[in-house]
């Protein structure tokens, strides 16, 4: 379909907003699938969004990933958000260091002069280990802070890509395929309709907690992620999408 190409970015944003019942859609030009600068712009847009929404005493939770990692250097000088707390949304040391949620949380806190708390917990733990860790007092206090977040910024990935990146077992991958998982966010896997079909046990934010978070913004772009973004947004828990033109056009095109 060619018609969508005559739409400007504003019109695209408006259509996506209506499609998924969002309060705000921000679209940066370009396509971060093949243009690194577009991904950098996504990070900038997310940083601007966060600056605009910060308030005294608020807690901000962030996930990991290469997209969120672009926020770290995008804040500029002169912000002193001393009363803000930044936390990782879920524990996880499995990713490359620069892309770990904890590292990103600490670096964002550094950039805006905020406080941070970390969860030093590896990914892919056995469920029994997760249960034991959840009862540790130190972990409990951090988890409580995470669950009380006011703003959540999270990435979205294609289900199979994230399953491989996270080193899921081949039975788990088969299961995801059987359930037709398309998108992933916060270690939850979603099918086309936005139904959660699988969850990797972890420590930190869980789906029921999202109800109490005032602002939930997904930050993801690239036309390769369009289906994943649609799958995750169809679950209807986000209020904001920060994306790029490549993903946005594909989302509209296929509708």
Residues of this chain that interact with ligand BG6 (CB under 6 A) are: 63-67, 95, 154-157, 162, 184-186
CB count, 10 Å around CB of 171? 8
- Residue closer to ligand BG6 (CB basis): 82 or 120: 120
Taking the complex as a whole, the smallest distance from the CB of residue 100 to ligand BG6 amounts, in Å, to 8
With contact defined as beta carbons under 8 Å apart, do 213 and 146 qualify?
A: no
Nearer to ligand BG6, 64 or 246 (CB): 64
C-alpha neighbours within 13 Å on the C-beta side of residue 207 = 17
Judged by CB, which is closer to ligand BG6: 12, or 162? Answer: 162
The residue number whose beta carbon is nearest to ligand BG6 equals 65
CB 229, CB 249: distance < 8 Å: no
Residues 6+ apart with CB under 8 A from 178: none
Nearer to ligand BG6, 14 or 34 (CB): 34
What CA–CA distance (Å, rounded) separates 219 from 176?
A: 23
If the CB atoms of residues 79 and 196 are measured against ligand BG6, the closer one turns out to be 196
d(CA 212, CA 214): 6
Q: How many residues does the chain have?
A: 255
User: Least distance (Å) from ligand BG6 to the CB of residue 66?
Assistant: 3
Nearer to ligand BG6, 125 or 186 (CB): 186
Per-residue exposure over 112-150, b if at least 16 CB sit within 10 Å of its own CB, e if not: bebebbbbebebebeeeeeeebeeeeebeebbebbbebb
Cα–Cα distance measured from residue 196 to residue 144, given in angstroms and rounded to the nearest whole number = 24
Q: Which of 27, 3, 11 is nearest to 220 (CA)?
A: 27
- Hey, which bits of 46-170 come out as E strands? 59-62, 85-88, 115-116, 151-154, 157-158
3-state secondary structure of 250: helix
Question: Closer to ligand BG6 at the Cβ: 61 or 112?
Answer: 61
């Amino acid at each position: 379909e060619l018609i969508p190409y005559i739409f400007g970015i504003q019109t695209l944003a408006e259509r996506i907003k209506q499609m998924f019942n969002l309060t705000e859609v921000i679209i940066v030009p370009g396509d971060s699938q093949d243009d690194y600068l577009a991904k950098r712009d996504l990070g900038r847009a997310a940083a601007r969004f966060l600056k605009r929404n910060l308030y005294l005493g608020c807690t901000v939770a962030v996930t990991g990933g290469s997209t969120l990692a672009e926020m770290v250097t995008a804040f500029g000088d002169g912000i002193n958000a001393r009363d803000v707390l930044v936390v990782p949304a879920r524990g996880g040391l499995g990713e490359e260091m620069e892309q770990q949620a904890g590292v990103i949380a600490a670096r964002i806190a550094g950039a805006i002069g905020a406080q941070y708390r970390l969860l030093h917990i590896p990914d892919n733990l056995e469920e029994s280990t997760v249960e034991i860790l959840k009862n540790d007092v130190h972990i409990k206090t951090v988890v409580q802070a995470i669950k009380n977040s006011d703003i959540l910024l999270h990435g979205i990935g294609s289900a199979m890509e994230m399953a491989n990146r996270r080193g899921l077992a081949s039975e788990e991958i088969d299961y995801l395929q059987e359930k037709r998982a398309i998108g992933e966010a916060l270690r939850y896997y979603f099918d086309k309709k936005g139904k959660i079909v699988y969850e990797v046990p972890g420590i930190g934010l869980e789906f029921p907690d999202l109800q109490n978070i005032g602002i939930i913004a997904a930050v993801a772009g690239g036309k390769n992620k369009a289906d994943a973004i649609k799958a995750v947004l169809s679950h209807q828990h986000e209020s904001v999408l920060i994306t790029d033109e490549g993903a946005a056009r594909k989302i509209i095109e296929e509708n």
